[in-house]
A and B are shown apart, each in its own frame.
Chain A
Amino acid sequence: METVQQEAATLAQPKKTTTVTGSVALMEGLIAEGTETIFGYPGGAIMPIYDAIYDYKDKLNHILVRHEQCAAHAAQGFARTSGKVGVVFATSGPGATNLITGLADAQIDSTPLVCITGQVFATLLGTDAFQETDVINISAPVTKWNYQVTEASEIPAALAKAFYIARSGRPGPVLIDITKNAQMQLFEYEGYTPCSHIRSYRPKPIVRNEYIEQAAALINSAKKPFILFGQGVLLGSAEQEFKAFVEKSGIPAAWTILGAGAIPTDHPLNVGMLGMHGNYGPNVQTNSCDVMIAIGMRFDDRVTGRLDKYAKQAKVVHLDIDPAEIDKNVKADVPVWGDCKETLPLLTELITERTHDEWLAEFKAYDKIEQEQLIQKELNPQTGELTMGEVINQLNVLTKGEAVIVSDVGQHQMVACRYGKLNTTRLSVTSGGLGTMGFGLPAAIGAKFGAPERTVIAVIGDGGFQMTLQELGTIMQFGVDVKILILNNQFLGMVRQWQQLFNEKRYSFVDITSPDFVKLGDSYSIAGKRVTERENLIPGLEEMLNTPGSFLLEVMVAKEHNVFPMVPQGSSVSEIRLK
């Protein structure tokens, strides 16, 4: 009763305001948007914001990273496992420029981030002031939207817009640059109103039924239909809708590395990974399917190989929320423009329940060849040096497909993505489009905050680990329970593989020396072990998983081992090589 009366009283009165600083309004806004964790690094131009967060420590958990790039990657890891928007704080100048790699990675992989950067006083803009950099223009190509705030009163609306843009439609990173005066300025704060509409921005296009009908007719008449799915399924939280579509249609489905886990690895219709180091069947069958149904994927060149020899025989149905993706790389015969959470059920409704036993058997036949010629040797070698594949395979046995696997970039990434077992969605975190070495460790930190109930394993190569190993400090300071699995082949393996295959083994600057990683971990109070022999692999992995808190396991793997299958650059997907 009392509440109702109070509400009535509030309605009758003019809007209540409180006088607060821009920084306090920012904190209130972040809380209103459901922010709990912020990854950041302070500095001169963002000091008022850090002064404000001092009083919000009970509500906002700030994780002090060791480099701003890692704040962005950690926020990406958080966003990928939680499905929420990752939030980053950084100061002006070098703080802001250090974010750029993370922003570029988030932009190309459609990861929702809100980055707040400090900026010099508005009166100093353009004067080459200390730590001034034009972050708005530097970040324009790698953000979905950005905005410079110079007045405290702009903060609530700018932040509301930022969150709305970051998470809606095709998600992406957004940057708000706030001048120091705006952070300190007092203004009349009317409370926080979330944004739900921007007239110039249409996140979700209207679904057009005629295309759904055309797509369904094409699918129903297909003899050899093939589904390619990407991260759009995850981003649209459409895993259930996708599963229903796949199961009713009975169509074999293959994934891009960012689509991994949209249906479980073991699902009978999951035929494997697409692309340069994907599975044999999905690549070869791309050029024999009659109808290709691409869902929330963007035909990246690492997926398509040579475009003029890509699925020329197939009719293409392309489901995507971003109209700019339709026809960008592969011409669509039926463009199904829209959010796949909406379009997939409409499509499922119209398709005939079918099985494609013979067609599926063709995939199985290719899988058999791949298993015999490659996978078994890779996953279960009895002699010789340890392989990356057997490490991932043993890890699967122990985690049973329930752990989050964060990978860095390179050979180990391809192996982790190919062989990693995923029982459910949002268990694989990797840098897909940008291929950012150094992504793994900070992303794993964020992934753990995004999925605290899960075991998080960062699978990283010896090269990538040395790019961001300073984040061991973050892991130590905040007691982040991350299992670090370094697959050390003493080379920058992927480049070495290319130099071996295409540059006559002219190994140019790929021989990389590493410190004693276990000792390094020890200096950060992170328990660790090095495995060099096969008999120690399972005990080592068990110790890593069973030790409470973080753990660093370094596994010495074969130095000159190549990732296969491989679609060589400039070749068609059907020219995939098994060796």
Chain B
Amino acid sequence: MSDSKDIELGNSKQEFTITVYTENQIGILNRIAIIFSRRKINIESLNVSPSEIEHIHRFNILITETEEVVKKLARQIEKQVEVLKVYANTNDDIIWQELALYKVPTEIVAEKVFVERLLRENGARVVVIRKNYTIFETTGHRSETDKLIEVLQPYGLIEFVRSARVAIIKDSEGFNSKLREFERLEPGQEVIENEFLDKEKNVFTM
């Protein structure tokens, strides 16, 4: 069976990004959400938006859990009739970004040159400038967007909003080819792939 190190890894909590491809159907959001809430697992961030394929939506769900629990959750999600495919990845497996918007008084930005410098240092871009307020935008990881809040707070940050995490899986080959398989009556091995089954290949030896 698996060695003790694996078990240790499987039992320690870490961030997982769960990517789910679903049909664009009313109610699927709830069906996915209750898989987490039933087990008293908090969703830290959730992004649902149309994928590159028409009528198919992509979920990015961020949770902090053990690998063992995440595997079980992934299978429960994939079991939903309107779910096409689920991937669960650690932060090492993905490239991700969050988008943040900051609303600050225009007078501060206009008057204080160093604020402008701070913004540039933090990679912020101006989205709009109005008489009373200016909106900046930045993308990055949580720590980066958090840092800019700290920076702007003393200068009268009026409002802040952050999107959910969106993530690209480093070694994915996209979903287009897979979808064609799904549309066939008898999907091929690729679609039936099961990360568990594949990993277990060498577990049993006679």
Residues of A within 8 A of B (CB): 136-137, 140-141, 144-148, 165, 196-202, 205-206, 208, 210-211, 214, 217-218, 221, 315, 322-324, 326-328, 331-335, 337
- Shortest Cβ distance from residue A152 to the other chain B in the assembled complex, whole angstroms: 18
Chain B contacts of A210 at CB under 8 A? 201
| B35 (CB) vs chain A CBs: closest residue | A141
Chain A contacts of B196 at CB under 8 A? 323, 326-327, 335
Is the pair B197, A322 in contact by a Cβ cutoff of 8 Å? no
Given A218-B206, A333-B204: A323 and B78 interface contact (C-beta under 8 Å) = yes
**CB < 8 Å A-B pair total:** 81
Is the pair A214, B75 in contact by a Cβ cutoff of 8 Å? no
- B34 sits at the interface (CB 8 A): yes
Is the pair B189, A200 in contact by a Cβ cutoff of 8 Å? no
Chain B contacts of A323 at CB under 8 A? 75, 78-79, 194, 196
For B20-31 the 0/1 string (1 means CB < 8 A from A) is: 001100110011
Is the pair A200, B82 in contact by a Cβ cutoff of 8 Å? yes
Bound together, the chains give a CA A179 to CA B179 distance in angstroms of 33
Name the residue among B76, B179, B204 with the largest chain A CB count within 10 angstroms: B204
| Chain B residues with a Cβ closer than 8 Å to the other chain, count | 36
Contact of A214 among B72, B183, B204 (CB under 8 A): B204
Given A206-B189, A217-B206, A333-B1: A199 and B194 interface contact (C-beta under 8 Å) = no
Chain B contacts of A141 at CB under 8 A? 34, 38
Name the residue among B79, B82, B194, B206 with the largest chain A CB count within 10 angstroms: B79
Chain A contacts of B23 at CB under 8 A? 200
- B128 sits at the interface (CB 8 A): no
Bound together, the chains give a CA A327 to CA B188 distance in angstroms of 24
- Shortest Cβ distance from residue A273 to the other chain B in the assembled complex, whole angstroms: 28
Contact of A202 among B27, B71, B82, B187 (CB under 8 A): B187
Is the pair B203, A333 in contact by a Cβ cutoff of 8 Å? yes
Bound together, the chains give a CA A148 to CA B79 distance in angstroms of 20
- Shortest Cβ distance from residue B129 to the other chain A in the assembled complex, whole angstroms: 40
Is the pair A337, B1 in contact by a Cβ cutoff of 8 Å? no
A-facing residues in B171-204 (Cβ within 8 Å): 179, 182-183, 185, 187-189, 191-192, 194, 196-197, 200-201, 203-204
- Shortest Cβ distance from residue A338 to the other chain B in the assembled complex, whole angstroms: 10
Bound together, the chains give a CA A140 to CA B83 distance in angstroms of 14
Is the pair A140, B75 in contact by a Cβ cutoff of 8 Å? no
Is the pair A200, B72 in contact by a Cβ cutoff of 8 Å? no
Name the residue among B38, B188, B191 with the largest chain A CB count within 10 angstroms: B191
Bound together, the chains give a CA A374 to CA B71 distance in angstroms of 43
Chain A contacts of B34 at CB under 8 A? 140-141
Contact of B27 among A140, A201, A206, A208 (CB under 8 A): A140
Bound together, the chains give a CA A322 to CA B192 distance in angstroms of 12
Is the pair A208, B31 in contact by a Cβ cutoff of 8 Å? no
Is the pair B183, A199 in contact by a Cβ cutoff of 8 Å? yes
- B84 sits at the interface (CB 8 A): yes
- B113 sits at the interface (CB 8 A): no
Bound together, the chains give a CA A218 to CA B185 distance in angstroms of 33
Bound together, the chains give a CA A159 to CA B95 distance in angstroms of 42
- Shortest Cβ distance from residue B201 to the other chain A in the assembled complex, whole angstroms: 7
- B81 sits at the interface (CB 8 A): yes
Chain B contacts of A211 at CB under 8 A? 197
Bound together, the chains give a CA A146 to CA B203 distance in angstroms of 39
| A141 (CB) vs chain B CBs: closest residue | B34
Chain B contacts of A200 at CB under 8 A? 22-23, 81-84, 182
Chain B contacts of A335 at CB under 8 A? 196-197, 200
Chain B contacts of A315 at CB under 8 A? 204
- Shortest Cβ distance from residue A317 to the other chain B in the assembled complex, whole angstroms: 9
Bound together, the chains give a CA A337 to CA B204 distance in angstroms of 16
Name the residue among B182, B200, B206 with the largest chain A CB count within 10 angstroms: B200
Is the pair B206, A198 in contact by a Cβ cutoff of 8 Å? no
For B151-171 the 0/1 string (1 means CB < 8 A from A) is: 000000000000000000000
List the 8 closest pairs (A to B, CB-CB), nearest first. A324-B75, A199-B182, A145-B81, A206-B192, A200-B84, A201-B81, A324-B79, A217-B206
| B185 (CB) vs chain A CBs: closest residue | A197
Is the pair B30, A137 in contact by a Cβ cutoff of 8 Å? yes
Could you list some 30 contacts between A and B, CB below 8 A?
Answer: A136-B27, A137-B30, A140-B34, A145-B81, A148-B26, A198-B81, A199-B182, A199-B183, A200-B22, A200-B82, A201-B81, A202-B192, A206-B187, A206-B189, A214-B204, A218-B206, A221-B206, A315-B204, A322-B79, A323-B75, A324-B72, A326-B196, A327-B72, A328-B72, A331-B1, A332-B200, A333-B200, A333-B204, A334-B204, A335-B200
Is the pair A144, B192 in contact by a Cβ cutoff of 8 Å? no
Chain A contacts of B79 at CB under 8 A? 322-324
Given A201-B81, A205-B192: A327 and B187 interface contact (C-beta under 8 Å) = no
Bound together, the chains give a CA A210 to CA B202 distance in angstroms of 11
Bound together, the chains give a CA A140 to CA B31 distance in angstroms of 6
Chain A contacts of B83 at CB under 8 A? 200
- Shortest Cβ distance from residue A18 to the other chain B in the assembled complex, whole angstroms: 29
- Shortest Cβ distance from residue A290 to the other chain B in the assembled complex, whole angstroms: 13
Bound together, the chains give a CA A201 to CA B196 distance in angstroms of 19
Chain A contacts of B201 at CB under 8 A? 210
Chain B contacts of A328 at CB under 8 A? 72, 75
Bound together, the chains give a CA A328 to CA B79 distance in angstroms of 13
Given contacts A210-B201, A328-B72, 11 further A-B contacts (CB under 8 A): A140-B30, A148-B27, A196-B185, A200-B82, A202-B192, A206-B187, A206-B189, A324-B75, A324-B79, A326-B75, A337-B194
| B182 (CB) vs chain A CBs: closest residue | A199
Bound together, the chains give a CA A189 to CA B62 distance in angstroms of 45
A-facing residues in B72-93 (Cβ within 8 Å): 72, 75-76, 78-79, 81-84
- Shortest Cβ distance from residue A157 to the other chain B in the assembled complex, whole angstroms: 13
Chain B contacts of A208 at CB under 8 A? 197
| B84 (CB) vs chain A CBs: closest residue | A200
Chain B contacts of A205 at CB under 8 A? 192, 194
A-facing residues in B113-146 (Cβ within 8 Å): none
Is the pair A199, B84 in contact by a Cβ cutoff of 8 Å? yes
Bound together, the chains give a CA A205 to CA B75 distance in angstroms of 13
Chain B contacts of A140 at CB under 8 A? 27, 30-31, 34
Name the residue among B75, B189, B191 with the largest chain A CB count within 10 angstroms: B75
Chain B contacts of A332 at CB under 8 A? 200
Chain B contacts of A198 at CB under 8 A? 81
Bound together, the chains give a CA A517 to CA B17 distance in angstroms of 59
Bound together, the chains give a CA A49 to CA B152 distance in angstroms of 62
Chain B contacts of A196 at CB under 8 A? 185
Chain B contacts of A146 at CB under 8 A? 27
Name the residue among B22, B183, B203 with the largest chain A CB count within 10 angstroms: B203
Bound together, the chains give a CA A334 to CA B206 distance in angstroms of 12
| A327 (CB) vs chain B CBs: closest residue | B196
